[in-house]
Structure 1
Amino acid sequence: MIIANGVTKTYGTECVVDNVTITLPAKGITSIIGPNGAGKSTFLSMVSRLLDMDKGTVTVDGLDVTKAPGDVLARRLSILRQDNHMTARLTVRDLVSFGRYPYSKGRLTIEDKTHIDDAIGYLNLVELEGRYLDELSGGQRQRAFVAMVLCQDTDYVLLDEPLNNLDMKHAMAMMKLLRRAANELGKTVVLVLHDINFASWYSDYIVAMRNGKVAHQGPAEAIIRPDILSDVYDMDIKVHEIGGQRVSLYYE
């Protein structure tokens, strides 16, 4: 599990993550939701050590992320940033192979190539592996980046707004792939999501942030409620159900 204790980040006089103490469960999908400026992406970046925290600690299965050697941490935890643009002209296979760097340091072994093949196959990219990234659609390119993260073969996979710039069809396909990875590969997937409907349908656990703090947390069915969501987003949110199953949200 991931344990954050007193995690804080301040820019000038603005505290964007304010003394967050939380335990994120192992296995399954945890979604971090909340309005813009809630501190979601900043918190995830500190968990993954992409961003230094001003105060606090984060451990992943007891491993202190601030003290662990980079290659050791990279074998335990992987992250896909929101701004995952590449300037180099790479093929899909080139990109996915980067996921093996913590193990091979660029000298790919037979085992590395097996992991690369498996990730490409898992994300349905076999027919595209020789294509350059700038020749792909947004949905195809996003799948390639997720394949790179899965190729890293870590127990913990962190994704910052993985549905950005995806239409509904490709967003749903992405969430189904991540659900499969959690179920079939035993991954712990932690997402920052803006779409509450996708968080509702695919998450096991939800953390709702507001003003740099954790406002609510718990199993999805305990958080996807009108009173909780209306409090988090400061607006009237209804949850539409059919036969007791959450279907969609609408706003007034």
Structure 2
Amino acid sequence: MIRCQGVTKSYGEHATIGPIDLEIPTGGVTALVGPNGAGKSTLLTMIGRLLPLDAGTIEVCGHDVRATPSRKLAHVLSILRQENHISTRLTVRQLVGFGRFPHSQGRLTARDQQAVSDAIDFLDLAALEGRYLDELSGGQRQRAYVAMVLAQETEVLLLDEPLNNLDMQHSVAMMKQLDAAARELGRTVVIVLHDINFAARYADRICAMKDGRVVEYGPSAEIMRADVLTRVFDTDVQVIDGPDGPLAVYY
């Protein structure tokens, strides 16, 4: 479980996140959605301790993220930010191997190598594992980064807009793979998404943010209502019945 209590972050007089009180249960996929500047990425990075809180507490699987030693926390949660810039020339397998650092401190054992192979296979990257990152498309690199955090084998996966640089086909494949990580591997996946329909289709819960606050939170079907989405996104949204559930249509 992820528990946020009274969490705030201030960037100045007119830019404040929170206070946020939120509980994300163990398992499944939770999508953070909302307009630009709503605070989605900021909340995710605070949960992942990449950004300090100004007030409040965040616990992940019972661990206070501010007080828990980094190496111990890295066995509990892994995070993928939007900005993935590694200047060193690496192969896909070498990059995914970085996910094992909390376990091996850089000296990969046979167990680590197996975890790397499992993550590569899970993201369908076996044919690319020997290729260098700068030889790949943006979408292929994005899948490699997701494989890296998956190889960390943590209970919680935090992903900030992992569909960036992916076309429709690979976006669908990525969401199916993340859903499988939650179902088959027992991970708790928290993901920032811009496309509300991907959230509706693949997330168990949707947390809608606006102006630095959580304004709606609950099962996806409860959030996928025209009145709720219109209020969250400040634009006219209609919700229709699609073949796999509700779909948002913007006018």
* TM-score with structure 1 setting the length: 0.97
Structure 2 stretches of 5 or more lacking a match?
Answer: none
Aligned position for 2:100: 100
Query: Counterparts of 1:249 and 1:172 in 2: how far apart (Å)?
Result: 17
* 1:240 aligns to 2:240 (yes or no): yes
Alignment partners' CA distance in 2, 1:20 and 1:130: 43
TM-score (norm 2): 0.97
Give, in angstroms, the shift of residue 84 of structure 1: 1.1
1-structure distance, mates of 2:51, 2:132: 30
* Other-structure match for 2:172: 172
Corresponding residue for residue 202 of structure 2: 202
| 1:9 equivalent in structure 2 | 9
Give the Å deviation of 1:95: 0.2
In structure 1, what residue type is equivalent to 2:72?
Answer: V
Q: Per-residue deviation at 1:242? A: 4.2
Tell me which residue corresponds to 2:123: 123
Q: Which runs of 5+ in 1 are unaligned?
A: none
Which contiguous aligned blocks of 4+ residues in structure 1 show a shift greater than 6 angstroms?
none
Q: 1:166 to 1:11 in 2, by over 3 A?
A: same
- Asked if structure 2 preserves the Cα contact closer than 8 Å seen for 1:32 and 1:191, the reply is yes
Equivalent residues of 1:38, 1:209 under 8 A apart? yes
1:21-70 Cα deviation digits (max 9, x unpaired): 11011100000000001001001110100001111100012100000000
Tell me if 1:222 matches 2:218. Answer: no
CA displacement at 1:108 relative to structure 2: 0.8
Matches of 1:18 and 1:116, distance apart in 2: 37
SS of alignment partner, residue 228 of structure 1: helix
SS at match of 1:250: strand
Structure 1 residue 166 displacement after superposition: 1.6
Provide the secondary structure at the position in 2 that maps to 1:8.
Answer: strand
RMSD: 1.1
2:38 corresponds to which residue?
38
CA–CA distance in structure 1, aligned partners of residues 197 and 85 of structure 2: 27
Partner of 2:248 in structure 1?
249
Deviations 1:116-175 (A, max 9, x none): 111111111111110000111122111111110010000000000111122111111111
SS where residue 52 of structure 2 aligns? coil
Corresponding residue number in structure 1 for 2:158? 158
**One-letter amino acid matched to 2:222:** A
2:110 matched to which residue of 1?
110
Q: Contact 1:239 / 1:246 at 8 angstroms: preserved in 2?
A: no
What code does the residue aligned with 2:98 have?
F
- Partners of 1:16 and 1:38 within 8 A in 2: no
Question: Does the 8 A contact of 2:224 with 2:247 survive in 1?
Answer: no
Counterparts of 1:16 and 1:101 in 2: how far apart (Å)? Answer: 34
Amino acid across the alignment from 1:218: G
Q: How far 1:247 sits from its partner (Å)? A: 4.8
Secondary structure of the structure 2 residue equivalent to 1:68: coil
Report percent identity of matched pairs: 56
